[in-house]
Amino acid sequence: MAVRPRSRPILSVWALISFIASFVVARAFTTLNPTIVVETGGFHIHHFWYGIAMLAIGGWIGISYESERTNRVAAIIFGAGGGLIGDEVGLLLTFRDYWTDLTYTLVITFLAVASFLILLVRYYKTVIQEFSAFSHRTASFYLGVFLGAVSIWFFLATENVIVMAVSGSLAIVACAVVVAYFVQRILKC
């Protein structure tokens, strides 16, 4: 009788959900109660310190114990700690401005990249099959050229580092699409 492999819980999804929930709760609490702060000995204790502690605790639990339930709890603690740190990333980077738009930009970028990576890891076989089928079509060449041109234009037209990083990354993806198209054409001959 064959032993069926045990499926692992989707820990990255649990961590991402707890990250989002923790970020939203911290931001809502700070917005609704801006005067409530923890001060001791003349020090203002920001909640990113609690986030660092939760990252350490969640990580330690995750590597120290091996059970589905414990792994899930560790992922939730780890994600919640990341959300508390993410809420104060603008304050940490500017050293003064908790309300900076940089926080939202970085958190949204993180969420987009993390979601993309979770989906890519989970469905990489399907993604590879779909990309291979797409790269055979002439539309992939046109899309690659269009994406490359627009990305390079954005890269050259701005001085914003984030826009430059995103457009540079998209230009690399566009080049990969065009190269994949030509490789498929050459292999077909």
* Residue 3 pLDDT class (50, 70, 90 cuts): low
pLDDT of residue 22: 94
State how far the Cα of 97 lies from the Cα of 103, in Å rounded to an integer: 10
Helix axes 138-157, 124-135, angle to 10 degrees: 100
Please report, rounded to a whole number, the percentage of residues in the chain having pLDDT higher than 90. Answer: 35
Whole-structure pTM value: 0.64
User: Residue 122's pLDDT is what?
Assistant: 83
Could you give phi then psi for residue 38, rounded to 5 degrees?
A: -95, 115
pLDDT of residue 146: 93
Q: Which of 154, 184, 186 is nearest to 171 (CA)?
A: 154
Token digits of residue 153? 């234009």
Residue 44 above 80 pLDDT? no
pLDDT tens-digit map of 133-185: 887 888 889 999 999 999 999 889 888 888 888 899 999 999 998 998 888 88
pLDDT value of residue 7: 54
In the structure, what pLDDT confidence band is assigned to residue 53 with cuts at 50, 70 and 90?
Answer: very high
pLDDT bracket for residue 6 (50, 70, 90): low
pLDDT-derived band at 70 (thresholds 50, 70, 90) equals very high
- Residue closest to 18 by CA, chosen among 53, 51, 66, 56: 51
pLDDT at 186: 86
For the chain, list the strands marked E by DSSP: 38-40, 43-45
Angle between helix 138-157 and 161-188 (nearest 10): 160
Residue 68 is predicted with a pLDDT of 87
DSSP class of 8: P
**Residue 39: phi, psi to the nearest 5?**
-125, 135
As given in the structure block, the two tokens for residue 35 are 């005067």
Is pLDDT above 80 for 119?
A: yes
> CA of 173: how far to CAs of 134, 145, 165, 170, 180, in Å?
14, 10, 12, 5, 10
- Helices 68-87 and 11-32, interaxial angle, to 10°? 40
Q: How many CB atoms lie within 10 A of CB 54?
A: 22
**Structure tokens, 67:** 């059970």
Q: Do 162 and 105 meet the contact criterion of CB atoms below 8 Å apart?
A: yes
Q: CA angle 170-174-179, nearest 5°?
A: 145
HSE (side-chain half, CA atoms, 13 Å) at 122 = 13
